[in-house]
Each structure stands twice: as C-alpha cells, then as structure tokens.
Amino acid sequence: MNEDLEQRVVERTRALAAANEALQKEVAERRRAEDALRLSEERFRKAFDRAPIGMTLTGLDGRWIEVNHAFCQMVGYSEQELVGMNFRAIMNLDDLDANLKGFRELLNREKDPFKMEKRFFHKDGHTVWVSVSATVVRDPDGEPLYFVAQLEDLTERKQAKEALQRFQFSMEHAPDAVFFMTREAGFSYVNEQACRSLGYTRDELLSLKLWDIDPVFSKERWEEIIQNRIDTVHTETLHRRKDGVFFPVEVSARHLWHGDDEFHVAFVRDISERKQIEEQLRHAQKLEAVGQLTGGVAHEFNNLLTAITGSLALILEQLPAGSELFGLVDVAQKAACRGAGLTQQLLSFSRRSPVDQRPQDLGKEAKEAVHLLRQAIDRQIQIEMKVDPGLWLILADAGQMNQLIMNLCVNARDALMERMERRTNVPTPPGWEPCILIRVENIEVDDAHCRIYPNAKRGRYVRLTVSDNGSGIDEAIRHRIFEPFFTTKEIGRGTGLGLSAVYGIVAEHQGWIELQSAKEEGTTFRIYFPQTEQSPLSRQTLSSERPATEGGKTILLVDDEEAIRLLGKTILECKGYKVLTAGNGLETLALLSGKKKEIDLVILDLTMPHLSGEEVLRQLDQIGPSLKIIVSSGHRTEDASYFKKISYLPKPYRPDDLLRTVAEVLRQA
C-alpha cells in the first residue's frame, strides 16, 4: 500500500518536472520568437525608414499610417505632418480617379500590385512626379488592413524628358535646316526643314554625305576641320537639291564633344530671298547714282537748249516766213525742241523734272491715255482696260501720269510687234492674240508683301498694272531696263529713255515698280502710288494768248550761264523792261542790298556756284519778304517749297513763255 503511494508520488513528481521543463522550453521558445519578431520589426523599421525610395502605409480611409524619410524629403513635409494626413490633401486631383480605381482593383483582387505615375504638390508648391507601386495587406481571414506603397521620384527624369521633347520639337520645326554630322561627314540626324529644302526624304538624306549636297565643300576641307578640330565654321555656300538646282545658303556649324561622342551640328539657312533683295537694293542704288549723274548732265543741257531755242525763236521773228534761211532756222529750232523733250525724260528719270502734283483719279488719266494710244497702235493688237469703281485719289502730275502710261503701253506694243514679226521663226501658242491689259485698282499692302519687295511700304495704294503677252524680257538684261539710253530695239526705233522716264516719275511720286517677265510669255509692270486724303482740285489751264507786257519794271535776272543771261536780257528789254543781271548768288545779294527798292522782280536759277539758289531764296525772304520771285530751272526742289510767293518757269523756255510768266507775276497783287 505504502509502496503504491510512493510510486504514484514519484511518477507525479516526474510528470510535474517534465511539465515544468516543457513549460520552460515553451517560454524560452516564445521569448526567442518574440525576440526574433522584435528584431524583425526593428530591421523592417530600419529598412522602411532608410529605404532609398519612398515608402508609405496607407489606411483604407486614405490616411497615412506610416511614412519613411525618403518620402518626407520627396514632398517636403515632416513625418509628424504626414501621419494622419489624407493623401488627397497634397495630390494633384487630376490623378485622383486613376488612383482610386487602382485601390478598388487591389481590394477586389483584380490587380496586384497596382502601378501608376501621379503628381504630388511639394510643400513649397512645385509639382513632384512619382512612380507608385502599391499592394494591399490582409489579415489571416483575408480582410484588407492597409496599403503598402513604394514611390520613386520621377521629377528630374520627367523634366529631362520634357526638355528633350522640347528640344526635338524645336529642332524638327526650326525654320532653318539642321544637320547632325558624324566624323565621317555622314548625317545622323536631319530635321524636317532640311528634307523640305533639299527635296529628299529623311531616309534618303541620312544615306548621303556632306559633299553630296554641298559640292563646294571638298573631302579635303572636311579632313582639315576634323584634324585641326576647328570649333566653329560660318560661311556662305551653295547647296544642291535632289532635282539638281543650286541655291545659296548660310551655314553655321559647331564641332561638339559629349563624353566620348564627337559630332558636328550645322544650322543652314536658305538665303535665296535675301540675295534677291540685296541684288534689288544694289540695283536701286545703281539707278540712284545713275539718276544723279543724269540729272546733272540734263541740267547743263537744259541751260544750253534754253539759249539755243530762245535765240532761234528771236531769229525767226526777224526773218521773212518765205525765206530759205527761215526754213533752216525752223528746222534747227524743231531739232532743239526735240532735244529739250529728251532732256525732260532724263530729268524725269533723275526725279528732277518740274511736277505739279494734285489729287488725281488715275483711272481717268489711264482712260485718256488709252484713247490716244488706240489711234497710234497696230489694229491687230487688242487693248483691254479695267478700272475698279471707287478708286482712291493719288497726288500726281497729270502730264507725267499720261507720259508714264503711254511709255509703258508703247513698250508693250514694241514687245508685241517683235513677237508678231518673229512669229514664223518662233511659233506662238494656238489661239495666241497680241494683247495689252491695263488695270487700275485699290490695294492695301501688308507686311508679307513688303518682305518680298524691299521697296514696298505698308499702306493704301492705287495700283496700275500694264501687261502684255509679247516677247518678254531676257533675265540677263532685266536689271538694266530702267537705265537711260539702254535699249534692245533697232537703231531708230527707240531712245532708251521710255522706261527710265517711268522709273523717275514713279520715284518722284513716292511709289515703286514691280516687274514680272518671262521670255516668249510676256511682261507685267505693277506700279503703286500712295493714296492721298486731299480733295480733288479743278485743273487750271494757261492761256496760249500772248499777254500784255508790263514795260518799265526793273527785273533782276540771275543765272550762271552767260548765254541765258544775254538771251533773257534781250527778250525783256525788247518789251520795255529794265534788266539787271547777276551770275551767282553772291552778286545777287550784293545787287539787292544796294537796289532793293528799285527791283520789282527777281528771275532766279537754282543751280549756281558759290551760293545755291535755295540759300539765295532764304536770304531774299529776309531782305524783301514782299519781293516777287520767279524760279527758272530744269527741276524743282523741296527746299524751295517753303517760299510762298514763288512762281515757276521751267527750262528750256521760249521767249513767249518768259514774257507771259513775267507779266502774270507782275500783275499779282
């Protein structure tokens, strides 16, 4: 009995000891597990906090539970500010729908992980682009607890990509051609303008070498640039299009290095338009210089012709009409008058001819000129005319407008006659009929037009167009057609002054000429005259009757040509005037200072040595403000226009012209 009890006690003790040992082991294992879990949590926390990319734990309500240091730096907020904050508070709301859709797909097990790019607003206000990869954490029963997300800052990458896209867009849409060239002179990149200007596709152009499009640029020159590492090249050269046509270009190239990469970039500008404008400018300057020379020569001829025609007119008055000598002198006078007409055309070219600009209807002048032209033109040539209604007025000299239109139409007639005469040798198109088209219309000139034609100016203009379908003008001589005495006509068929007079008249009226012509197709002149706001004036006509003279008056005749002084003195003294003469401005002022009260009228030349006519006019305005003055010259000047009491007598003049002008001025109150 006792033995059994002891045995049970021993067994119980052993069982308790075993249970205790097992409990100790379990406690130890639990402690080891807890230590391992705590170590794992510490390691996770360290990994979470020290991760190089952003890490967040986000509750199902959208609030951050945990955020790491990298994410705090990414958005500029502290951990304390972010924990408990709803992610919507700093997210760009344009990305919200996509973000919420991703969360729903995670919760519904439709997608895991969920990835997207979205934008946060940094604390300082700038946008932060991030790449998000998120998953959902669930409990053992599968219920979602929170979202875990990894976030990478894409801002710099996005900015670099956008900068690259802007650069590529700029290069692709640049107005100049852009070439990236390899060390072997091939092309690694060409933009759209390069393909368009040269007429190649991109693939075709990328397969070529530099000298394929720039034959002027040799392989030796390229090797020199490579070997000497010439950093910058700036030059003008010629490029060849795919169709073989050459055009001028301006090239700016740089030799660049990027790490181990070495390449050239070249910006190429088509300067065809600029070259054309430069050529037009040089031609205009040349014509201006020729005009100045022509005007000076024509002025001297005017003085000579004034003396000749005036003297011949006096001789004719003294000769019997039926005498042999009368006929010879009459022929000489007509020849001199013809010379005077040529001189006036020269002065028109040089913009020194006398003009009387008044508000004019150019359409009316054109109709009158065409009416006269029809009487003198071959009936085979059709003349078509169109004048737009409601034409604006222009400030113009009616006589010069008539001369301009007649000259252009005569030039067109000659071109048509030339083609008609050569019709057997140079066949004309079927149905070709010789025709001159004249049109007058209102036109508003804009900046785009001015860029094409350097002489053009913005504003409202009346445009005169004269076109023909004649022989056309050869491109080789087109730049010379406005030069005085230049003509392609046979001897005796033209003086070469028609178009030069047109040029001078247009320049005098502040306009410009545009020319379009093609060989065996025809020529078109377009002439622009600025609109004027002045009201139209009635035309004044001078009586052709010889006026009564005012004998007994004292006249001071000023001219540097002795022959003209002698002629004028003779004409005036024959009619009872007392005449004093002076050969230059200094003599004029000296005479006036001593005899101011005796002198009733001054006849003054403008071009004189020592003291110009314009300066004499200013002095006369101070010496005698009421003094009557006639300016006698081959041309008017702007400097004389300020003097209100001036009358004008153009050279060369006849005796009757001089006497009529003097009488009219002396009769003025």
Q: What is the torsion angle, in degrees rounded to the nearest 10, for the CA atoms of residue 627, residue 628, residue 633 and residue 635?
A: 90
Q: Of 287-291, 541-545, 570-574, 632-636, which has the strongest mean pLDDT? A: 570-574
User: Which residues constitute the domain of residue 247?
Assistant: 173-270
Q: One-letter amino acid identity for 25?
A: K
Same structural domain, 82 and 208: no
616 within domain boundaries? yes
Among 62-76, 525-539, 551-565, 626-640, the least confident range: 626-640
Name the residue with higher pLDDT: 549 or 14: 14
Q: d(Cα 551, Cα 638) in Å, to the nearest integer? A: 33
pLDDT digits (tens, 9 = 90+) for 584-608: 888 888 888 777 778 888 888 877 7
Where among 241, 270, 299 does a domain terminate?
270
240 within domain boundaries? yes
Q: d(Cα 105, Cα 112) in Å, to the nearest integer? A: 8
Same structural domain, 177 and 309: no
Name the residue with higher pLDDT: 109 or 262: 109
Looking at residue 538, its pLDDT comes to: 47
Bridge-based pairing state of the strands 601-604 and 628-633: parallel
Name the residue with higher pLDDT: 244 or 474: 244
Beta bridge partners of 360: 394
**CA distance readout (Å), 169 to 89, 165, 173, 204, 267:** 35, 6, 6, 21, 15
Question: Average pLDDT in the 134-156 region?
Answer: 87
| Residue found by looking up tokens 């209604």 in the block | 389
Q: d(Cα 189, Cα 171) in Å, to the nearest integer? A: 10
Same structural domain, 310 and 433: no
247 within domain boundaries? yes
CA 193, chain centre distance (Å): 20
Ordered alpha helix ranges (H), 385-508? 398-421, 447-452, 498-508
Q: Could you tell me the sign of the dihedral formed by the alpha carbons of 406, 407, 410, 415, in that order? A: negative
pLDDT digits (tens, 9 = 90+) for 481-507: 776 555 555 544 444 456 777 887 888
Supply the angle between the helices 655-667 and 562-574 in degrees, to the nearest 10: 70
266 within domain boundaries? yes
pLDDT digits (tens, 9 = 90+) for 344-368: 655 554 445 555 678 888 988 888 7
526 within domain boundaries? yes
Q: Of 41-50, 388-397, 529-538, which has the strongest mean pLDDT? A: 388-397
Is the pLDDT score of 461 beyond 90?
Answer: yes
Question: Average pLDDT in the 510-534 region?
Answer: 88
Looking at residue 550, its pLDDT comes to: 55
Neighbours of 391 (CB within 10 A): 18
Looking at residue 540, its pLDDT comes to: 42
Q: 634 φ, ψ to 5°? A: -80, -10
Same structural domain, 502 and 375: yes
Where among 222, 242, 270 does a domain terminate?
270
Same structural domain, 19 and 91: no
Same structural domain, 364 and 505: yes
**Confidence tier at 340 by pLDDT (50, 70, 90):** low
163 within domain boundaries? no
pLDDT digits (tens, 9 = 90+) for 78-116: 989 989 999 988 998 888 888 888 888 888 888 888 888
**CA distance readout (Å), 161 to 122, 153, 154, 192:** 20, 14, 10, 21
Looking at residue 199, its pLDDT comes to: 92
Question: Average pLDDT in the 400-421 region?
Answer: 82
Looking at residue 121, its pLDDT comes to: 92
Is the pLDDT score of 460 beyond 50?
Answer: yes
The token pair at 313 is 């007119």
Same structural domain, 366 and 340: no
Same structural domain, 503 and 366: yes
Q: What is the CATH number of the domain that holds 326?
A: 1.10.287
Question: Average pLDDT in the 132-137 region?
Answer: 88
pLDDT digits (tens, 9 = 90+) for 368-397: 778 767 766 777 888 899 999 889 999 887
**Confidence tier at 515 by pLDDT (50, 70, 90):** confident
Q: What is the CATH number of the domain that holds 615?
A: 3.40.50.2300
**CA distance readout (Å), 186 to 179, 204, 210:** 10, 12, 6
The angle formed by the CA atoms of residues 279, 280 and 282, to the nearest 5 degrees, is 65
Same structural domain, 374 and 491: yes
Looking at residue 346, its pLDDT comes to: 55
Where among 326, 349, 372 does a domain terminate?
349
**Confidence tier at 431 by pLDDT (50, 70, 90):** confident
**Confidence tier at 297 by pLDDT (50, 70, 90):** low
Same structural domain, 219 and 134: no
**Confidence tier at 333 by pLDDT (50, 70, 90):** low
Question: Average pLDDT in the 554-567 region?
Answer: 83
Looking at residue 54, its pLDDT comes to: 86
DSSP for 514-546 reads EEEEETTTEEEEEEEEEB--SPP-PPP----SP
Number of domains observed in the structure of the chain: 6
**CA distance readout (Å), 648 to 75, 306, 396, 638, 664:** 87, 15, 18, 13, 11
Same structural domain, 378 and 522: yes
306 within domain boundaries? yes
Q: What is the CATH number of the domain that holds 368?
A: 3.30.565.10
pLDDT digits (tens, 9 = 90+) for 609-625: 777 777 888 887 777 77
Supply the mean pLDDT for the chain.
Answer: 78
Q: What is the CATH number of the domain that holds 220?
A: 3.30.450.20
559 within domain boundaries? yes
Same structural domain, 446 and 314: no
